[in-house]
Amino acid sequence: MRVIIYRITLLEPTLVTAIQGDPNEGVAFDYIPGSTLRGAIIKKYLRTNHLTELDSADPHIRRLFIDGTTSYLNGYPLDSLDKRTLPTPLSWHREKGNEQEIFDFAAELPDLPDDKQWQWVGTPFCSLGEPKDESKRKVQLVRPDRHIAVHTARTRRFGRAMPANMIDSSKGDVPGAVYRYDALAGGQKFEAITICGNDADAQEIRSLLNGEVMLGGSRSGGYGRATLEVIREESTESWREVGLPFVTEVDDKLIITFLSDALIRDGNGQFTIDPLVVTEALSQRLGVPLKLQQAFLRGEIVGGFNRKWGLPLPQALALRMGSVFVFDKPDCDKSKLRQLELQGIGERRAEGFGRIAINWHPGAKLEVDPTPPSQTIRPAQIPSDSDSQRLLKQMAERMLRLRLDERLIARTNDIHIINPPSNAQISRLRSILHDELMKETPSTQRILEFLNRIRERNTARRQFERARIETKSLLNWLEETLQDSTWETRFGFQQTDAPRIGSIQASLTDALRIEYLIRLVDAVLARAVKENRKEAK
């Protein structure tokens, strides 16, 4: 098996859209998916061989592009040493306010009780250096640059955007719209890998990994032009995707990190991220039972677009890249672990899905290397207090509110009041909530004072204490919720989840927290009012 490593230089912004964002925006991945690279290389193959389409029944074609003999791995950004980065493990956390130290919970969990506030590192890619002495291992955190542009869809017949009631679809008119592209910025370099299962194919593949290609969407709009350049070729016997020596165990543990999204099915044929199903799949590949200790994982909806069909691919739930599984050290040969690392797991491995690293990050503590990534482009400078900065800030804050609204709805659906107070009692409290929400800076002080007065009135107090949310009385739940000082406990949201536009990131301010806590309480009470009315009918 041969491994061909090549660089991708973006000559223009590149828009390979992920399934996220608002309906009127396209948000690109932070990397270049292997499926996109495979599509670009297929196009070069067709052009080189003067073909119009692939013969999928040809064994040679199947080996090169379809059956997984040849795998096209994702293109990830480079660090300051021009080294290919990898997805940041989800087990890496740091204490809130400390940007220099990282603790790997997969290697060692913090002592309990622990009053520190931990949060995920929040940067999508990293590169891990080798330790030079007993000091902490250095790690570089990398986030690719983005190119954000606002476009207007014009109605071709009029030459400008037109409202829906003034167009004629029978004449090919489409309504005008404003939309936003959040693409990878041009000028950046990424590194990708092609693994050739058949050595005889390596020379042919290598010839296709040089020259200019088009990547992603909106190609006629000035997006997607890039160049490929082969850096080197290696044998799989000496090559590891993580670039570090192979370690067979870490303190009697086996740590498996996913270096790309993985598509794994359960016994019913459904895609899943259930850790037990993933454990079973890994056990089958290794031929020994694995005992799961911990898992740090997230899900991701993946799709794609087939240019031959002109249709989007079916969406599926995938295990997100960076997920980490910790097992007891299995009783199996090193060769099986190496084989698992080389071949990956799950479906669509020819497109770079299911890549795995074994015991890649054995250290419990890491130190962030402050060296910035090599600057291949000069970022645009936005003057402070300018109209542009205010506009970007306003856009980021609106996006933040949209995401918080989604969390608010989801959280409200999870909270149910058992035996709620009468609608008259709830209405008195809700009128105060609405008064506060009408203010420019809502406060919980007046609401808490009203709850204190409820405690002094026997009839009202009995109703609010009789009502339950899980094991707490409604009165206690209201007081705890309104005095909650963190976003994580109520909404599962943190600063790193806040949207960013260029260098400007929306802030989770205290005023915003108070407003959403009041809205959460109001939404839960409104639901109780509706249920009371249904029971009264």
Each residue of 60-110: pLDDT tens digit? Answer: 999 999 888 999 999 999 988 889 999 999 999 988 778 888 999 988 887
Q: How confident is the model at residue 448 (pLDDT cuts 50, 70, 90)?
A: very high
Burial class (CB in 10 A: 0-12, 13-18, 19+), 489: exposed
Distances (CA, A) of 501 to 77, 84, 407: 19, 25, 21
> What's the pLDDT score for residue 193?
95
- Summarize the confidence of residues 175-183 as an average pLDDT: 80
Q: How far apart are CA 12 and CA 223, in angstroms?
A: 5
Q: 227: part of which helix (H) or strand (E)? A: strand 225-235
- Summarize the confidence of residues 26-45 as an average pLDDT: 92
465-512 confidence digits (pLDDT tens): 999 998 889 999 999 999 988 877 788 777 777 887 767 888 888 888
Query: Which DSSP string do the residues of 248-291 spell out, in sequence order?
Result: S-BTTEEEEEESS-BB-B-TTS-B---HHHHHHHHHHHHTS---
Answer yes or no: are the C-beta atoms of 326 and 292 closer than 8 Å: yes
> What's the pLDDT score for residue 505?
82
Residue 349 predicted with pLDDT over 70: yes
- Summarize the confidence of residues 283-301 as an average pLDDT: 91
Q: How confident is the model at residue 228 (pLDDT cuts 50, 70, 90)?
A: very high
Residue 158 predicted with pLDDT over 70: yes
Answer yes or no: are the C-beta atoms of 90 and 324 closer than 8 Å: yes
Answer yes or no: are the C-beta atoms of 241 and 259 closer than 8 Å: yes
Residue 133 predicted with pLDDT over 80: no
Phi, psi of 453 (to 5 degrees): -70, -30
> What's the pLDDT score for residue 497?
77
Give the lowest-confidence range in 201-210, 276-285, 391-400: 391-400
Dump strand ranges (E) for 143-176. 146-153
Residue 361 predicted with pLDDT over 90: no
| Amino acid code (one letter) for 224 | G
> What's the pLDDT score for residue 453?
92
Q: List, in order of start, the domains of the chain with CATH numbers.
A: 2-85+144-235 (3.30.70), 253-359 (2.60.40.4350), 387-536 (no CATH)
For the CA atoms of 49, 53, 59, 62, what is the dihedral angle to 10 degrees? 110
> What's the pLDDT score for residue 255?
93
> What's the pLDDT score for residue 188?
92
Answer yes or no: are the C-beta atoms of 74 and 30 closer than 8 Å: no
- Summarize the confidence of residues 33-58 as an average pLDDT: 91
Q: How far apart are CA 146 and CA 293, in angstroms?
A: 38
Mean residue pLDDT across the chain: 87
> What's the pLDDT score for residue 42?
93
Answer yes or no: are the C-beta atoms of 161 and 152 closer than 8 Å: yes
Q: How confident is the model at residue 518 (pLDDT cuts 50, 70, 90)?
A: very high
> What's the pLDDT score for residue 536?
77
> What's the pLDDT score for residue 334?
86
Q: How far is CA 170 from the centre of its chain?
A: 41
Distances (CA, A) of 326 to 226, 258, 289, 312: 39, 12, 13, 35
Q: How far is CA 83 from the centre of its chain?
A: 22
Contacts of 497 (CB under 8 A, 6+ apart): 403
Q: How far apart are CA 319 and CA 281, in angstroms?
A: 13
Residue 318 predicted with pLDDT over 80: yes
Contacts of 32 (CB under 8 A, 6+ apart): 8, 14, 16, 74, 75, 184, 190, 192, 215
3-state secondary structure of 426: helix
Answer yes or no: are the C-beta atoms of 8 and 192 closer than 8 Å: yes
Distances (CA, A) of 82 to 190, 231, 369, 466: 9, 12, 15, 64
498 vs 430: which has the higher pLDDT: 430
> What's the pLDDT score for residue 219?
85
Q: 127: part of which helix (H) or strand (E)? A: strand 125-128
> What's the pLDDT score for residue 46?
93
